[in-house]
Amino acid sequence: MPAVSRSSNVLREQIAKAKAGARAAAAKSRRGDLASGFEGFEDISGGPRSLTGNTGLLKKRIQSGRMSGTLNIAALGLTQIPDEVMKMYDFDPTAGSEWAESVDLTKLIAADNEIIEIRDDGFPDVAIEDLADSEEGINFQFGGLEILDLHGNKLQGLPVGIRRLQRLHSLNLANNSLTNTALDIIVQLPELKDLNLGSNLLEGSITEDLSSLIHLQSLNLRGNRITDLPESIGRLSQLRKLDASSNQLQSLQMASILGLPLSDLNVSKNKLGGPFLEGSVSMLHLATLDISHNQLAAISTGTSLELPSLQSLHASGNRLVAVPDLSPCTKLLTLSFSENSLTEFPPNLASLPNLRTLDLSRNNINKVDAAVALIEPLTSLHLEGNPLRERKYLTMAAADIKQDLRKRFENMTLEGEEDAVGGNNVIGGEEASAPRSKAISIKGGILDISSKSMTELDMDTVPDGPAIKEARLQRNRLTTIPESLLRLSATSLRMLDMSNNTLQKTYLTTAITLPLLTSLKLSSANVTALSPLLTYLDAPKLSDLDISVNRLSGEFPRLRSYYPKLLTINAADNQFSNLPYSNVAGLSSVNLQNNALSALDPMLGSLSRDLKMLEVRGNLFRVPRWDVLDKGTEVLMKWLKERIPEDQKGVGRDEVDDDDDDMF
């Protein structure tokens, strides 16, 4: 358990005893007069109501909060902070040694309730150093808070005393009804590092006093009606994440923003126009840029972008007619330019060695760039909605497009033609559409017999000699995995693609060992069970498995007990209903989007060291909510980790890996 502060316990106990004694004496002297005049009347003072129905649960959470320093009263249907919480540190002489073990409260989670207002006496506007001299019954048990989470309530304002939380470094007020006046209080929190004001009622210009939050690292203003960011934002010298999406911004303080060490900038769904960047700019740390759904005519007035750390660029839904040279952005993984007015592919795509996703859908492109075939990591290419000369590319998978382009490129090279993408030399155009031969061949270790409408593989058509490293059998009508092919290529096969076939229940019936196989694709293959695969396929180096868009159900299996090198699993669009955290241990990427998961085990949060991508949107569970899932795996894992029961917090990944029982 992290160390928590006990420095104020003695002082708090002394003050509590003295004040309790004074109040008791005063109450005793008045009791006779009050009792004779108000017997039989209920208390109609309008004071705080105690939580009913969950009294026992609340008591346990308060007790745990006093011992751990973290109080979680989220999702209890509260309309205000319960009286029991307001008095949780009042001296109780019957508590014995338990009281002596109390620690300062450092974390308060009261999210997802219906709290409209927080009473001033919960956060008194009094300096902590003045409390000991006060003769009033001032309650300041929240004075040591470092994290305060009030998101998902109905707050219309904040108590002024929140500005006295001198240790507060994380404040989440998203999904409330706060207006700009709340900022007048927030900007007085000197240690604040993380501020979330998303989905409130902020409007117009943001106060220039925002610059007083000199330690701020993350600022979320998403989903308000803000028209201007302050020029002083440039003085937030530690700001790394800025989300101002879904507002009414027509321009940005780019001169100020460019000087910040931003790694994430999201200004999507605003009213930005003109070019986004003027001239040559340099943002050395920027990894994610989202400028989608604005009215931008250009990304930059310069000819290239100098963003050496950029990994994701989202610019869909604008008015772009061209894209600058992105070759300096060698770390790019994702490019999205859908719903623009582009007439050609971005230049120098072959200079992006790590590009995995390229979305150019719904533009005015009619030629396919041959460079696509040279980008080995590219696994997702969207071209739908373009007036392409070769219509087949609109629905083909990225791997199929790349392979087709390679064939056309080879044909043109053999014929002495230039490597061009225009006129009669368009890759994928009419002049190069006819294959040179209908015979099955192996080129560069690749056996490609995809999209042949085959119901079985005739091995007599497969040439002897060249070692098969990749077997591409997707988009056929195969009902089994061709065992004869597996035996032929057993010592050389590294990738097998059986996606988009109609496999029967017994799709594999003979034991086979593929010592070099690293990638297996069974997407959209009518798979109802993994037992034939797990029973008969021995693949000690398998690291990438795609079983998406099938009919798999029940508990998600612990596949690493069969394939110990497995790191990436795509199981989206199935019907898995249970996800034990132990079955995910050791994996780095798991996609379970659009399944039937009814809940997420909080212990998944303990796997954050290895599990870098967990996609679970589109399932049946109600918590965590979509706004948590949309923020990505890091936020989701943190959310889960915070909800791990106390008695399970010691369980680690290594302990999980040692337990190999009860496997699927």
Rounded Cα gap, residues 486 and 471, in angstroms: 9
Q: Can you give the pLDDT at residue 6?
A: 43
Q: Can you give the pLDDT at residue 31?
A: 37
Q: Are 205 and 228 in contact, with CB atoms under 8 Å apart?
A: yes
Task: List Cα–Cα distances, 546 to 109, 226, 445, 476, 530, in angstroms.
Answer: 38, 43, 22, 17, 12
Buried-state track 278-314, b at ≥16 Cβ within 10 A, e below 16: eeebebeebbbbbbbbbebbbbbebeebebeebbbbb
Q: Can you give the pLDDT at residue 229?
A: 95
Q: Can you give the pLDDT at residue 132?
A: 52
Counting as low any pLDDT under 70, the low residues of the chain are 1-54, 91-100, 128-139, 280, 303-304, 409-439, 465, 650-664
Q: What angle do CA 331, 518, 552 make, to 5 degrees?
A: 100
Q: Are 93 and 128 in contact, with CB atoms under 8 Å apart?
A: no
Q: Can you give the pLDDT at residue 439?
A: 52
Q: Dihedral, CA atoms, 389, 390, 395, 398, nearest 10 degrees?
A: -110
Q: Can you give the pLDDT at residue 45?
A: 31
* Superfamily grouping for domain 272-401: Ribonuclease Inhibitor (3.80.10.10)
Tell me the domain boundaries of the chain: 272-401, 552-664
Q: Can you give the pLDDT at residue 7?
A: 41
- Strand, coil or helix: 541: coil
Task: List Cα–Cα distances, 140 to 13, 190, 319, in angstroms.
Answer: 13, 19, 54
Q: Can you give the pLDDT at residue 137?
A: 55
Q: Can you give the pLDDT at residue 14?
A: 45
- Strand, coil or helix: 290: strand
DSSP 326-346: -TT-TT--EEE--SS---SPP
Element (H, E) at 36: helix 9-38
- Taking Cα atoms as reference points, which of 512, 482, 510, 515 lies closest to residue 497? 482
Task: Report the Cα–Cα distance between both ends of the chain, in Å, rounded.
Answer: 34
Q: What angle do CA 212, 217, 219 make, to 5 degrees?
A: 80
Q: Residue 366 CB: number of other CB atoms within 10 A? A: 14
Q: Are 292 and 316 in contact, with CB atoms under 8 Å apart?
A: yes
Q: Can you give the pLDDT at residue 418?
A: 41
